[in-house]
Amino acid sequence: DTAVSQTPKYLVTQMGNDKSIKCEQNLGHDTMYWYKQDSKKFLKIMFSYNNKELIINETVPNRFSPKSPDKAHLNLHINSLELGDSAVYFCASSHRGGGANTGELFFGEGSRLTVL
């Protein structure tokens, strides 16, 4: 069983379109994240949700809208796609509560978005 799964793995679309990436984790974690990895492999946090509540929003354009229907799912919707949105988007999860938060993240395999 895949611990953190993302779909789709590859996404190719035209500028101006709207697209979504879905993420699910079966680890029982209470916190989920979206990270963006650019073409130079730089990894930067975009959003974090804890028990469906947004706790981190890192100056991301409001074209990006995360949604967490429950603590096992965190989806990312992107409106009006731009060339600069091309990247690999990683979903991750961690366990926050119940003792010291060590911040260990469990990552999905990534969703490679290409905007033409």
Binding stretches for another protein (CB under 8 A): 4, 31, 33, 40-45, 48, 50, 55-56, 90, 92, 94, 96, 100-110
Residue 82 Cβ vs another protein, minimum distance, rounded to whole Å: 23
Measured from the CB atom, is 82 or 104 closer to another protein?
A: 104
Instruction: Give whole-number Cα distances, 37 to 42, 82, 87, in Å.
Output: 5, 16, 6
Q: What angle do CA 24, 46, 62 make, to 5 degrees?
A: 105
The residues, any chain, with a CB within 8 Å of residue 107's CB and separated by 6 or more, are: 4, 35, 90, 91, 92
**In the complex, what is the shortest distance from the CB of residue 40 to another protein, in angstroms, rounded to a whole number?**
7
Between residues 19 and 96, which has the closer beta carbon with respect to another protein? 96
Rounded to a whole number of angstroms, the minimum distance from the CB of residue 104 to another protein is: 6
- Partners of 5 in the β-ladder: 24
Cβ proximity to another protein, 92 vs 115, nearer residue: 92
